[in-house]
């Protein structure tokens, strides 16, 4: 019963952060909710071992990225991506919403591994080493995936460069 209580406490404390990471990986709220649920189901099966090692966050992140890539591989044939994003919606008064939409659309153009690298490095604020551990790859792979993802974003979403220069990112 103690492991179950520990798991519930972890989920209660980290659900918002896990949901945010899942949303950034998926780009869709409903898919992100499914991803969090699937990840937590998998993690719950091994919770005693996961929590015994101290901080379970690296394991849960790794499980979420693996689950995301696995789901993406299964569904990739069903999804039809457009060459260009849809026309811009009616401008919103909130600059943060416009920025979030631009980032979401830009992330959607990347491969799952590139997206995962950017989410882990820049949104979860992990080091290259921690990102490599979560993704089960080498640090040089993290560096090259980051380089390639940022290069792709510069080509596919040049408006983000303007957003980065014109808006201050809250800390």
The reported pLDDT for the residue numbered 163 is: 57
Say if residue 117's pLDDT is above 70: yes
Q: What is the mean pLDDT of the chain?
A: 82
> What CATH topology corresponds to 86-171?
Arc Repressor Mutant, subunit A (1.10.10)
Token representation of residue 141:
């792979």
Q: Which residue ranges does the chain devote to CATH 1.10.10.10?
A: 86-171
Higher pLDDT, 7 or 79: 7
Determine the Cα–Cα distance for residues 137 and 144; give it in Å rounded to an integer.
11
- Please calculate the CA angle 17-20-25 and round it to the nearest 5 degrees: 125
**pLDDT tens track for 29-61:** 988 999 999 999 999 998 888 888 788 988 899
Q: How much is the CA Rg of the chain, to the nearest whole Å? A: 17
For residue 94, the 8-state DSSP code is: -
If you average pLDDT over residues 133-143, what whole number do you get?
A: 94
Distances in whole angstroms, Cα of residue 114 to Cα of each of 69, 94, 95, 122: 11, 28, 26, 12
Determine the Cα–Cα distance for residues 160 and 150; give it in Å rounded to an integer.
11
Token representation of residue 89:
């919606």
> What CATH topology corresponds to 1-80?
Rna Polymerase Sigma Factor; Chain: A (1.10.1740)
Q: Which residue ranges does the chain devote to CATH 1.10.1740?
A: 1-80
């Amino acid at each position: 019963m103690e492991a179950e209580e520990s798991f519930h406490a972890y989920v209660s404390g980290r659900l918002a952060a896990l949901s945010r990471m899942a949303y950034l990986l998926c780009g869709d709220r409903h898919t992100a909710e499914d991803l969090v649920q699937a990840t937590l189901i998998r993690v719950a099966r091994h919770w005693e071992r996961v929590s015994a090692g101290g901080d379970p966050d690296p394991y849960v992140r790794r499980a979420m990225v693996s689950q995301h890539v696995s789901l993406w591989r299964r569904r990739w044939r069903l999804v039809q991506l457009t060459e260009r994003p849809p026309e811009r919606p009616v401008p919103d008064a909130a600059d943060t919403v416009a920025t979030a939409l631009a980032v979401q659309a830009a992330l959607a153009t990347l491969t799952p591994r590139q997206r995962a690298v950017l989410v882990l490095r820049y949104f979860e604020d992990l080091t290259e080493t921690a990102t490599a551990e979560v993704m089960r790859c080498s640090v040089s792979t993290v560096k090259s995936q980051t380089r390639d993802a940022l290069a792709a974003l510069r080509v596919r979403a040049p408006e983000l460069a303007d957003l980065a220069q014109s808006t201050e990112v809250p800390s």
